[in-house]
Structure 1
Amino acid sequence: MAYDVGVDSEVGRLRTVMLHRPGAELKRLTPRNNDRLLFDGIPWVAHAQEEHDAFAQALRDRDVEVLYLTELLTQTLHDPDARRVAIDTTLAGRGGLDLGDALRRYLEDLLEDATPEELTGHLTAGIRNDEIRTSLPGSLVTTMMPADWFVIDPLPNLLFTRDSSVWLADRVAVTSLAMPARRRETQLTDLIYRFHPRFAHAQRVHGHGLEHVEGGDVLLLAPGVVAVGVGERTTPAGAERLARHLFEDGLAHSVLVVPIAQERATMHLDTVATMVDTDKILMYPNVADTLTAYTLTETDRADDGALRLSVTEPEPFLVAAAKAMRIDTLHHLDTGLDPVTAEREQWDDGNNTLALAPRLAVAYERNDGTNARLEEAGIEVIRIAGSELGSGRGGPRCMSCPILRDSLA
């Protein structure tokens, strides 16, 4: 059975989305590892699951098909070839402490003998030393390693499915995540797109072995117009590589490369700006007047077929975006009603909205000022709770990977 896929904007009516319901991997967070695993706190997992279930139901109530990453992964792992790739990439990417031959052989056997459901659990929630050390006598590695250290790390950031893949028209870009704690996420996402029958005909661009690009930095401003933030996570080389893929495959005519501050509060472009209508963008006011963009376009091909790019001098982002989108003005709505509120609500993911259609967006309920500004501008806001979900610094857009939207072209 063939399934429709494709996304050419941020605001076309959302039809299918991939989420990850928080699970055992969040229970692995402690005050000693949460910083390394990129969480600002220790979430109350049961409550985070309740919040996420309400988020998913809000999408279903608007006729959005919700797919879950772990369910897709488990189905994928019924394929023997997918299992072998999953095991090989997980152990090859272990990094840090040398596993040692005995431990590596034990883990290979453990993962090989696991059911698809168990293997999904090992790959996402990780394996702690005290869960295996008694089964592996004579291993110096497990003997000397602290009991609560992980031989395979958990992946609590799987919650943010936006980052590991992004659909660009009918192609999917499997991204390359910058932070060591997240790199295995794209390996699992790649596995799903490579082996799951639902995506058998999906064509891919980019890849987790290439220069760093994260999905939170990629905004589809309009059909053929893509903005890519460059900052803490996405590199200039990653943005250029992605732009070349888009031009070579005819997926874009303009790519706007947008420098953003390299700091936690602005880790991705979608932490400071998200589209809420075909000509309206929600922006953090502290950057609205200073954000700039370099516009990349294809000029011609060299004699050897290599693509040549034109790169403009930087100009104000809103100006460059309107030109590329071929509209008079890209209207911006400010986060919050005053500077203090704006800063608080930007930190609380006030800019990180998920559009379900033009003038219809999901947002965290706690950002009262931002939500009020949206409604004043004619945007319907679906409010969801996020007190626990937001502890990893991400809002509704971060937690969702649109797979199918109605086209605006």
Structure 2
Amino acid sequence: MAYDVGVDSEVGRLRTVMLHRPGAELKRLTPRNNDRLLFDGIPWVAHAQEEHDAFAQALRDRDVEVLYLTDLLTETLADPEARRVAIEGTLTGRDGLDLGDALRGHLRGFLDDATPEELTGHLTAGIRNDEVRSTVPGSLVTTMMPADWFAIDPLPNLLFTRDSSIWLADRVAVTSLAMPARKRETQLTDLIYRFHPRFAGETRVHGHGLEHVEGGDVLLLAPGVVAVGVGERTTPAGAERLARHLFEDGLAQSVLVVPIAQERATMHLDTVCTMVDTDKILMYPNVADTLTAYTLTADEPADDGTVRLRISEAEPFLRAAATAMRIDALHHLDTGLDPVTAEREQWDDGNNTLALAPRLAVAYERNDGTNARLEAAGIEVVRIAGSELGSGRGGPRCMSCPILRDSLA
């Protein structure tokens, strides 16, 4: 059975989305490891699940098909080759070197014996030392490792499905995540797109072994116009590689590369701006006048036939975006009603909205000032709770990977 896929904007009516319901991986967070695993605090997991269920139901209520990453992964791991790739990818590479031969061999057998559902749990929630060390004779690693340390780390940031893949027209870009705590996420996402029957034959661009690009830094401003934030996570080399792929495959006419401050509060471009209509963008006011962009277009091919990039001088982002989108102006709406409120609500993911259609967006209910601004501008706001979901510093856009939207082309 063939399924429709494709996304050419941030605001075309959303039809299919991939989410990850918080699970056992969040229960692995402690005050000693939450910083390393990129969480600001220790979430109340049951409440986070309730909040996420309400988010998913709000999407279904508006006729959005909701797919869950772990369901797709479990179905993928029924394929023997997918299982082999998943296990080898987990036990090798940089992290695998720290396991030692004895523990690695034991874990390989342990994972080989797991059912697809159990394997999904081990790969996402991790495996703690005290869950294996009594059965690993001859392992100095398990002997010296504290009982509650992880042989395989949990992946609490799977919640943010936007980062590990992005649909660009009818192609999917599997991204390359910068932080060590997140590298395995894209390996699992890659498995789904390689082996799951739903995505059989779909063409992919980029890949988890290439230069760093994260989905939170990629905004589809309009059909053929893509903005890529470069800062703490996405590198200039990653943006360059992605732009070249987009031009080679005819997926974009313009790519705007946007330098963003390398601070935790602005780790991704979508933490400072998101589209809420075809010509309206919600933006953190502290950057509205300073955000710039280099416009990249395809130049004459190089001698070897590869795409050469033409790079403009940097100019104000809003101006560059409007020119690339071929509209008179990209109107920006400010987060909050005053500088203090704007700063508070930007930190609480006030900018990180998910458009379900033009002038219809999901936002955290706690950002009263931002939501009031949106409604005053004619944007209908679907409010969801996020007191626990927000502990990983991500909002509705971060928590969703659109797979199918109505085209605006």
TM category (shorter chain) comes to over 0.9
Maintained 8 Å contact 1:291/1:317: yes
1:150-165 alignment runs, 5 A limit: 150-165=150-165
Aligned to 1:212: 212
Show the counterpart of 1:265: 265
Asked if the contact 1:284–1:346 (Cα under 8 Å) also holds between the matched residues in 2, the reply is yes
For residue 32 of structure 1, report the CA deviation from its aligned partner. Answer: 0.2
Residue 110 of structure 2 corresponds to 110
Tell me the SS of whatever aligns to 2:118: helix
Does the 8 Å contact 2:282/2:333 carry over to 1? yes
Query: Any idea what the Cα deviations from partners look like across 1:285-330, whole Å, max 9, x if unmatched?
Result: 0000000000000011123212111100000000000000000000
Q: Report what 1:41 is aligned to.
A: 41
Contact in 2 for aligned 1:93/1:184 (Cα 8 Å):
no
1:401 matches 2:398: no
Aligned-pair CA distance for 1:102: 1.0
Contact 1:42 1:391 in 2 (8 A): yes
**Could you tell me how far apart the structure 1 residues matched to 2:342 and 2:305 are?**
48
**Rounded Cα–Cα distance in structure 2 between residues aligned with 1:144 and 1:232:** 34
* Superposed CA offset, 1:4-45 (max 9, x none): 000000000000000000000000000000000000000000
Range that drifts further, 366-375 or 91-100? 91-100
Tell whether 2:164 aligns with 1:125. Answer: no
TM-score (norm 1): 0.99
Q: Distance in 2 between matches of 1:362 and 1:222?
A: 19
CA distance in 2, matches of 1:295, 1:190: 29
The alignment status of 1:9 with 2:19, answered yes or no, reads no
Is the aligned partner of 1:22 residue 2:18?
no
**C-alpha distance in structure 1 between counterparts of 2:41 and 2:180, whole Å:** 19
Residue 229 of structure 1 is matched in structure 2 by 229
SS at match of 2:209: coil
The answer to whether the 8 Å contact 1:94/1:152 transfers is no
CA distance in 1, matches of 2:245, 2:174: 12
1:5-404 maps to which residues of 2 (within 5 A)?
A: 5-93=5-93, 95=95, 98-404=98-404
Letter in 2 for 1:374: L
- Whether the 8 Å contact between 2:219 and 2:274 is mirrored in structure 1 is yes
Tell whether the 8 Å contact from 2:18 to 2:67 is kept in structure 1 after alignment: yes
For residues 170 and 157 of structure 1, what CA distance do their matches in structure 2 show? 26
Alpha-carbon offset, residue 201 of structure 1: 2.0
**1:231-264 deviations in Å (ceiling 9; x for gaps):** 0000000000000000000000000000000110
Matched residue SS, 1:239: helix
- The alpha-carbon distance between structure 1 residues 22 and 93, as it changes in their structure 2 partners (threshold 3 A), is farther
Classify the secondary structure of the residue corresponding to 1:307.
coil
What residue ranges of structure 2 are gaps of 5+ in the alignment? Answer: none
d(CA) in 1 for partners of 2:28, 2:183:
18
SS of 2:95 mapped into structure 1:
coil
SS class of match (1:300): coil
Using the alignment, how far apart are the partners of 2:180 and 2:120 within structure 1? 20
* Deviation of 1:93 (Å): 3.3
Q: Which moved more, 1:300-309 or 1:14-23?
A: 300-309
SS of aligned partner of 2:241: helix
Partner secondary structure for residue 172 of structure 2? strand
Contact 1:17 1:401 in 2 (8 A): yes
Q: Say if 2:165 and 2:401, in contact at 8 Å, map to a contact too.
A: yes
State the AA in 2 paired with 1:369.
Answer: G
Gap regions ≥5 residues in structure 1: none
Contact 2:212–2:237 (Cα < 8 Å) also in 1: yes
SS of residue paired to 2:308: strand
CA distance in 2, matches of 1:370, 1:3: 36
Q: TM-score, normalised by structure 2?
A: 0.99
Q: CA deviation at 1:96?
A: 7.5
Instruction: Give the Cα separation in 1 of the matches to 2:346 and 2:330.
Output: 20
Contact 1:14–1:405 (Cα < 8 Å) also in 2: yes
Identity %: 90
Task: Provide the alpha-carbon RMSD of the alignment.
Answer: 0.8
Kindly provide the CA deviation profile for residues 358-401 of structure 1, in whole angstroms up to 9, marking residues without a partner as x: 00000000000000000000000000000000000000000000
Given that residues 345 and 367 in structure 2 are in contact (C-alpha distance below 8 angstroms), is that contact kept between their aligned partners in structure 1?
A: yes
